[in-house]
């Protein structure tokens, strides 16, 4: 269908730094199918890349309303919460990312990568706290 094709083009735009184009196409695709949790989450991620955390939160929340166990949406929300100085909430969202992950080893590596490499100390702190909590389980 044409809207799934738009979504595929959006992913290309995201990978190549065309964030505003991706936002536009994801919005069109989501307007076509408000129940598409993947498109809603990808729209949220595109908004993260544009720096619009409020609209990102709205789109990601929409995705989580449709699919509360979508680990990538929890990871995106955790990132936004950390950037908003809500470290405890961010840590909790990262823990939900891990809990709902289909591949917890890969998610642990993602969190370790954020702990070691993210440019924002708040993101590093939240992911480090999540890793610590996972190790203490």
Mean pLDDT by 10 residues, the chain (137 residues): 58 77 88 91 95 98 97 98 98 98 97 96 98 95
pTM of the model: 0.90
Instruction: Supply the pLDDT for residue 16.
Output: 75
The confidence score (pLDDT) of residue 97 equals 98
pLDDT, residue 28, reads: 87
Instruction: Give pLDDT, residue 18.
Output: 80
**Residues 57-96: b if buried by 16+ CB within 10 A, e if exposed:** bebbebbbebbeebbbbbbbbbbbbbbeebbebbbbbbbb
């Amino acid at each position: 269908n044409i809207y799934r094709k738009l979504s595929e083009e959006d992913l290309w735009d995201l990978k190549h730094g065309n964030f505003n184009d991706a936002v536009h196409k994801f919005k069109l695709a989501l307007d076509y199918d408000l129940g598409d949790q993947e498109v809603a989450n990808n729209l949220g991620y595109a908004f993260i890349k544009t720096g619009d955390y409020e609209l990102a939160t709205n789109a990601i929340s929409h995705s989580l309303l449709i699919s509360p166990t979508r680990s990538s949406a929890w990871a995106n929300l955790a990132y936004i919460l950390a950037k908003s100085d809500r470290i405890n909430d961010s840590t909790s969202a990262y823990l939900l990312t891990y809990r709902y992950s289909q591949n917890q080893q890969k998610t642990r590596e993602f969190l370790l990568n954020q702990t070691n490499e993210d440019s924002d100390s708040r993101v590093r702190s939240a992911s480090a706290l999540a890793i610590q909590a996972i190790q203490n389980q």
